[in-house]
């Protein structure tokens, strides 16, 4: 998804806590204080990001297609129509109508050009929980698709974005490394990227994981897991603070906090 979608990664996964996931590890490495505000304080924006919802609904449309055979463009259009009058944060270039048109174009292109390359689908949005002796916490996640891509068993993650990915994005993807741990029989990992440019694009980026890559990721996850367990949270200031939902908290602007954030009681 656009950026990392934390909530989607643990859909259907055991509610056992604490645990690790790619999203948790990634958020902690990005900023430990942001991790605390999101996962410990459970603060969320009152108005959700439209691009985030867009990505979630594209995921759901693809999953619904592989499960039920429903045309993904139709699934998306039906779900998106419910949001027509809902308050969402749109970028300057986007609107409800623009995102609807882009999703339909991308999902139609996916159905016509990419689905024929896929076969022997063995898992759709498959949750996993790994208990690895080298980790002090369980590692959980949800794999978008396990299938044969051009006859090669592949773990596939779908992304929606406004800019094309580079090859190193898949070579260094911790998310795909975690998925390879859960699906060791897969011969390759792949990002299927839906690019929301003027002309819709769907790019594939393929890679493979060797034992050294898996060991490296587990060592990193273990370090993060131990820091989380110990409650080691601190601010990591940088340019990214300018677009962080939690900037008002870090600045002590309580009025802005009250206006923009809400504490949730259920996992999201």
Q: What is the pLDDT of residue 2?
A: 36
Q: Residue 1 pLDDT more than 60? A: no
Q: What is the pLDDT of residue 4?
A: 35
Query: Looking at the chain, how many residues does it have?
Result: 268
Read off the pTM: 0.88
- Mean pLDDT across 95-108: 96
Q: What is the pLDDT of residue 134?
A: 82
Q: Exposed/middle/buried for 106, CB within 10 Å: 0-12, 13-18, 19+? A: buried
Q: What percent of the chain has pLDDT over 70?
A: 93
Which pLDDT band holds residue 267 (cuts at 50, 70, 90)?
low
Question: What values do phi and psi take at 22, rounded to 5?
Answer: -60, -45
- Mean pLDDT across 15-31: 86
Alpha helices, DSSP H, located in the chain: 22-30, 32-35, 50-68, 72-81, 96-109, 167-171, 174-182, 211-229, 247-251, 254-260
- Mean pLDDT across 175-197: 95
* Spatial separation of the C-alpha atoms in residues 144 and 139, rounded to whole Å: 16
Among 3-17, 48-62, 156-170, 232-246, which stretch is predicted with the lowest mean pLDDT?
A: 3-17
Which pLDDT band holds residue 265 (cuts at 50, 70, 90)?
confident
Average model confidence (pLDDT) across the chain: 91
Residues in a beta bridge with 20:
139
Which pLDDT band holds residue 197 (cuts at 50, 70, 90)?
confident
Q: What is the largest CA-CA distance in the chain?
A: 56
Give the pLDDT confidence of 147-168 residue by residue, as tens digits: 999 999 999 999 999 988 988 9
* Spatial separation of the C-alpha atoms in residues 143 and 124, rounded to whole Å: 7
Q: Residue 27 pLDDT more than 80? A: yes
Q: What is the pLDDT of residue 132?
A: 86
Give the pLDDT confidence of 109-142 residue by residue, as tens digits: 999 999 999 999 999 999 999 988 888 889 999 9
Query: Coil, strand, or helix at residue 216?
Result: helix
- Mean pLDDT across 6-18: 49
Give the pLDDT confidence of 35-90 residue by residue, as tens digits: 999 999 999 999 999 999 999 999 999 999 999 999 999 999 999 999 998 999 99
């Amino acid at each position: 998804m656009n950026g990392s979608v934390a909530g989607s990664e643990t859909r259907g996964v055991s509610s056992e806590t604490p645990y690790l996931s790619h999203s948790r590890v990634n958020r902690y490495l990005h900023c430990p204080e942001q991790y605390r505000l999101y996962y410990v304080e459970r603060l969320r924006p009152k108005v959700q990001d439209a691009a985030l919802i867009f990505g979630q609904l594209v995921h759901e449309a693809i999953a619904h297609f592989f499960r039920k055979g429903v045309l993904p463009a139709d699934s998306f259009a039906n779900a998106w129509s419910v949001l027509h009058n809902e308050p969402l944060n749109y970028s300057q270039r986007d609107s409800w109508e623009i995102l609807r048109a882009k999703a339909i174009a991308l999902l139609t292109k996916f159905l016509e050009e990419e689905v024929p390359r896929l076969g022997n689908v063995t898992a759709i949005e498959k949750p996993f929980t790994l208990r690895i002796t080298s980790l002090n916490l369980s590692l959980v996640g949800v794999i978008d698709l396990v299938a044969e891509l051009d006859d090669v068993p592949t773990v596939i993650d779908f992304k929606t974005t406004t800019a094309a990915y580079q090859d190193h994005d898949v070579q260094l993807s911790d998310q795909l490394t975690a998925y390879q741990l859960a699906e060791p029989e897969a011969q390759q990992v792949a990002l299927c990227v839906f690019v929301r440019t003027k002309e819709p694009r769907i790019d594939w980026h393929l890679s493979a994981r060797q034992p050294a890559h898996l060991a490296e990721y587990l060592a990193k996850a273990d370090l993060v897991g131990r820091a989380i367990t110990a409650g080691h949270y601190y601010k990591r200031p940088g340019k990214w603070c300018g677009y962080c939902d939690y900037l008002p908290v870090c600045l002590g602007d309580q009025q802005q906090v009250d206006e923009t954030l809400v504490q949730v009681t259920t996992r999201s």
